[in-house]
Amino acid sequence: MKIRSCLTTDAHQLVEIYNHFILNSTATFEEAIIDVDEMINRIASISSNYPFLVCESDEQIMGYAYAVRWKERSAYRYSLETTVYVRPNHQREGVGRLLYLELLEQLRLRGFHCGLAGITLPNRPSVEFHESLGFEKVGQLKQVGFKFGEWIDVGYWQIIL
């Protein structure tokens, strides 16, 4: 497995991974699948300012992670929201951990101060994963998302880089 910067040519495989989560989970609050062109736009937009990484093995993207600005106001410029998605058949193989460790290191090297992760609740595996990396729970918003006919809470975990 190797971690590298995401390229727009990775978009097809990222769409496969992400659309699975759109259709089958509350890990994302998007409800309509996206196409390759949309993913290319997202990769280009995010990677122009922040780390966008993939984990690759034998030319297959096993997962990806990136960071985006937390909020638009200038005082938030050192705080980023972090995200990771791992291909369903490669979860619990260390892919997410490798991606996140490299993402957090790149954020530190670029001078960012705070990483934030939003986790739909309940989601014990994601909570345990983030806490194992040093994230701490800092808050919870009740019933802020509505997907699959249910109201969903979102918790926020934070790490000081």
DSSP string, 35-67: -HHHHHHHHHHHHTTS-EEEEEETTEEEEEEEE
* Rounded average pLDDT over 53-61: 96
The distance of Cα 81 from the centroid of its chain, to the nearest Å, equals: 8
- DSSP E strands, 51-107: 52-57, 60-69, 79-86
Other C-beta atoms within 10 Å of 138: how many?
11
pLDDT band at residue 2, thresholds of 50, 70 and 90?
very high
The CATH architecture of the domain made up of 2-160 is 3-Layer(aba) Sandwich (3.40)
Other C-beta atoms within 10 Å of 115: how many?
25
DSSP code at position 17: H
* Rounded average pLDDT over 112-140: 97
The helix/strand/coil state of 122 is coil
Domain boundaries, the chain: 2-160
* Rounded average pLDDT over 53-62: 96
Is 0.85 topped by the overall pTM?
yes
